[in-house]
Amino acid sequence: MSGPSHFRWQKAVRPIIALAPMAGVTDASYRQLIKALAPQVIVYSEFLSTDALAYGGKKTMAMMHFDPAVERPFIVQIFGKKPEHFLEAAKVVEQMGADGIDINMGCPAAKVVSSSHGSALIKSPGLAAELVHAAVRAVSIPVSVKTRLGWNTSETLIPFCTRLVEAGAQALAVHGRRFTDKFTGTADWSPIYALKEALSAVTIIGNGDIQSSQDALDRIGNLDGVMVGRGTIGNPWLLKDICDAFAGKGIHTTKDELTFAQKIPFILEHCKRAVQTKGERKGMLEMRTHLAHYVKGMEGAKELRSRLVRVETIEDVRKILNA
């Protein structure tokens, strides 16, 4: 717990560069790793259930743990559908010392949508606005929303987002796909540019298909910032490359510039942070996915991967990588 947060989306340094909230990926160890590489990146928690937060669920509360010394500004992403739980959950998030609350209205996972959470809220704009209003009413920290272009059309994006802003949302991060697209095809950013034109006073961040710093430069257009998710898995250096590109330090791809030997200390550091925050068993279990991505595209990657997905200790990782 800490003093009041002074973070405001309108005052955040432009362009905003954010790490997208990703279930099973953006835990404390990953966020800290990203912040060590690119301190100005805004980081989000994995999405947390408002139902669990309202009832004080231990596992969910633990997922909200962050290091205020390195992770600020830290945004907690929540999901759910009950306004009374949003009210309670928002208070808990503020008391924990987070700098902002983000509401997930974009997750397309079947399990999430079938419970009327995530992307399903796009079909219920009245309820979506009510959830924003409940969170805004409960706290003094800013409330934002992450959503998609629409359910099966992008025609609804502006009216939907206008309602969220009227309910008190200060910022919107929009993934350039509809719910029906899931993660297929190419992200379409043009409706996001149109949204910024329509809501010029609101912080609008674009998200989808950013795999390089050149992509970020090409796509930002009239937006306030970019949010990068899947492109960072196995390549956490990507956000540093993007920060450098926007700072006028040229276009480069750190991942390709480093030899694998140079990446090893970094990968081990990621393992160390995972173990520190979650204990050895759980930390290393969750690191296995990251490790498989770190060696992707390398010579002998298949054999390496089959060994890395069975590691149980940092020492196991060190031996495999150094060999």
Q: What is the pLDDT of residues 29-57, one digit of tens each?
A: 999 999 999 999 999 999 999 999 999 89
Say yes or no to pLDDT of 134 above 70: yes
- How high is the pLDDT of residue 4? 63
pLDDT score of 104: 97
In the chain, residues under CATH classification 1.10.1200 are 260-322
The shares of helix, strand and coil residues in the chain, as percent rounded to the nearest 5, are 50, 15, 35
Question: Out of 3.30.70, 2.30.29, 1.10.1200, 1.10.3470, which CATH number does the structure's domain 260-322 have?
Answer: 1.10.1200
The helix/strand/coil state of 257 is helix
Q: Residue range 162-175: average pLDDT? A: 98
Question: Given pLDDT bands bounded at 50, 70 and 90, which one contains residue 1?
Answer: very low
Q: Where are the alpha helices (DSSP H) in 206-279?
A: 213-219, 238-246, 254-257, 260-278
Closest by CA position to 157, among listed 204, 192, 119: 192
Q: Cβ distance 258 to 199 under 8 Å?
A: no
Beta strand extents in 50-165 (DSSP E only): 74-79, 100-105, 143-148
Q: Which of 107, 161, 243, 271 is catalytic?
A: 107
Rounded Cα distance between 176 and 307, Å, is 36
Q: What is the DSSP letter of 177?
A: S
Nearest by Cα to 177 from 186, 167, 164:
186
Cα 106 from Cα 117, distance rounded (Å): 9
DSSP for residue 16? E
Tens digits of residue pLDDT in 250-272: 999 999 999 999 999 999 999 99
- pLDDT tens-digit profile of 53-94? 999 899 999 898 899 999 999 999 999 999 999 999 999 999
Structure tokens at 45: 């928690």
For 11, 43, 318, the CA distances from 21, given in Å and listed in that order, are 21, 8, 29
199 secondary structure, DSSP code? T
| Whether 107 is catalytic | yes
Give the global pTM. 0.96
Collect all residues with Cβ–Cβ distance below 8 Å to 33 and sequence separation of at least 6: 236, 269, 270, 273
Gap between the Cα atoms of 99 and 93, Å rounded = 9
pLDDT band at 23 (very low <50, low <70, confident <90, very high): very high
**9-252: CATH homologous superfamily?**
Aldolase class I (3.20.20.70)
Report in angstroms the alpha-carbon separations of 308 from 23, 143, 314: 21, 39, 11
State the pLDDT confidence band at 323, using cuts at 50, 70 and 90: confident
- Return d(Cα 34, Cα 74) in angstroms, integer: 12
Q: What are phi and psi of 49, to 5 degrees?
A: -75, 130
3 confidence band (pLDDT: 50, 70, 90): low
CB 76 within 8 A of CB 53: no
Q: Which residues contact 32 (CB under 8 A, 6 or more apart)?
A: 67, 70, 71, 273
CATH 3.20.20.70 residue spans of the chain? 9-252
Helix axis angle, 125-138 to 83-95, nearest 10°: 40
